[in-house]
Amino acid sequence: MKINVKTKGVIITSKQKAQLEKQILKLKKYLKDVSPVTVDVMLMDESGPDKGGVDQAVHINAVLPKQTIFIEETDNRIMRAFTTAYKRFERKLKQLHEAKVDGNTRAGRFTGIIDAFGRVIPRRKRNKNK
């Protein structure tokens, strides 16, 4: 997983940048069998440093092999905007991961029958000679 952190009109410390990268790397568990993955995190001040208000924005763009995920969040504090965007991004990756796992089990990978007690009874292989 490749992570790019860019800023525009916002100053973050190296400690904050390391924290952002560490949090994004935690999501690697949902992308174990997916590669290559590129995550771009853009932190920006939309109206300039002198103006107040809700103008700190975070854009998280993840490029997966078959799709792209884009999350945008705005707040008056940049790290709070990142935290909210990160939570949304994590939920989206979790949904995609669960859909993939559920799809695999429904697609015929399970080759057994569950009895009334919840035990798995494997299917018998048929003899082609009969």
Of 38, 33, 34, 39, give the one whose Cα is nearest residue 20. Answer: 39
To the question of pTM greater than 0.75 for the whole model, the response is no
Which pLDDT belongs to residue 24? 93
Question: CA–CA separation, 66 vs 101, rounded Å?
Answer: 16
CA–CA separation, 20 vs 3, rounded Å? 10
Of 8-22, 25-39, 111-125, the range with the highest mean pLDDT is: 8-22
Question: pLDDT of 107-118, one tens digit each?
Answer: 455 555 666 666
Domains of the chain: 2-122 (3.30.160.100)
CB of 7 closer than 8 Å to CB of 20: no
Judge contact between 89 and 71, C-beta under 8 A. yes
How far apart CA 94 and CA 30 sit, in angstroms, is 6
Question: Is residue 90 within 8 Å of 27, Cβ to Cβ?
Answer: yes
Listed in order, strand segments (DSSP E) in the chain are 2-8, 38-45, 56-63, 68-75, 112-114, 120-122
3-state DSSP assignment of residue 26: helix
